[in-house]
Amino acid sequence: MSKQILTGPVRPEHEVRAIETATVVNNHEVAEEVFITKFHSPVIARLVKAGQFVMVSFPGCFDPLLARAFSVSDVQGKNLSLFYSAVGKGTRRLSKLRKGDAVTINGPLGNGFPKLSKGERVYVVLGGSGAALVPILCRSAKRSGAKMTVFYGARTKRHLVAFKNHKIHHATDDGSKGYHGTVINLLREHFEEERPDKIFGCGPTPMLAALQRDFDGDLPVYISVETPMACGMGFCQGCPVKIYDGRGYFLACKDGPVFNAKEIELE
């Protein structure tokens, strides 16, 4: 049985959130050191939208002490999935969880990507742990009737995760799968054939910077940043993102993590 605390019933839609004890439904290694963990988390699963994130902590655990941020990768009924690379203490601990183990999840947090509308054409560009967003973005496109094309790049075939039931254009730096070159060059080729109405991106900062530099001209580009976070809720001031014209800083957790690329300066 999951414990739930719903907060802020009169807050704006994207700020309604919960803290709940979520239990592991299953945990799979889907590529080398890359895992998808599915949690029973009924309240947060009901609230979350594409591009929002959660903070995950381990009850009674002091190492790591702080919660870790993860985009919600998918929602299926009362369950939500996280997709992550086991790179540090938190993600390694997550990767070792077994069915029935519990974690504390705080979310959904952040703004998420803009709502999609019927017939709208969206290009989605993903790399690294940004690939987490494939399932939830595809679901939201299907629900809204938007036409979404997904471009997903990695160093080699070994670093690409296969997403069943999703049509994806792949790019690898060594040409071992899909387009031989960067995902940005692949996007460029498609862009010349057909222009979308908007672009969404999530992945390593150089990839986001290239999107911002090369495509943010006459169509909106929205990028999701993965600035390291401590509280995830605007309290610690630990996740600054430079505002484009030097006016100061946004907070990635509160004002983002999705920004119109025009608004920010990537560092």
Q: What does the binding site for ligand FAD look like in residue numbers (CB under 6 A)?
A: 53, 64, 68-71, 83-85, 87-91, 129, 132, 226-227, 229, 257
Six-digit token pair at 135? 């399932």
User: Among ligand FAD, ligand FES, none, what does residue 204 contact (CB within 5–8 Å per kind)?
Assistant: none
Which of residues 111 and 172 has its CB atom nearest to ligand FES in the complex? 111
Rounded CA separation 39/90 (Å): 16
Q: How far is the CB of 157 from ligand FES (least distance, A)?
A: 35
Residue 6: closest CA among 56, 60, 46: 46
CB 76 within 8 A of CB 36: no
Rounded CA separation 232/254 (Å): 7
Q: Does 238 bind ligand FES (CB under 6 A)?
A: yes
Which of residues 121 and 161 has its CB atom nearest to ligand FAD in the complex? 161
Angle at 175 between CA 174 and CA 177, to 5 degrees: 120
Q: How far is the CB of 91 from ligand FAD (least distance, A)?
A: 3
Rounded CA separation 25/102 (Å): 10
Q: Does 31 bind ligand FES (CB under 6 A)?
A: no
- Angle, helix 183-193 to helix 205-215, in steps of 10 degrees: 30
Q: Does 67 bind ligand FES (CB under 6 A)?
A: no
Residue 190 CB coordination number (10 Å): 15
User: Among ligand FES, ligand FAD, none, what does residue 90 contact (CB within 5–8 Å per kind)?
Assistant: ligand FAD
Residues numbered 174 to 233 that lie near ligand FES (CB under 6 A) are 229-232
Angle at 101 between CA 100 and CA 107, to 5 degrees: 105
Rounded CA separation 206/209 (Å): 5
Which of residues 74 and 255 has its CB atom nearest to ligand FES in the complex? 255
Q: Does 161 bind ligand FES (CB under 6 A)?
A: no
User: Among ligand FES, ligand FAD, none, what does residue 88 contact (CB within 5–8 Å per kind)?
Assistant: ligand FAD
Q: Does 65 bind ligand FES (CB under 6 A)?
A: no
Binding site for ligand FES (CB under 6 A): 229-232, 234-239, 251, 253
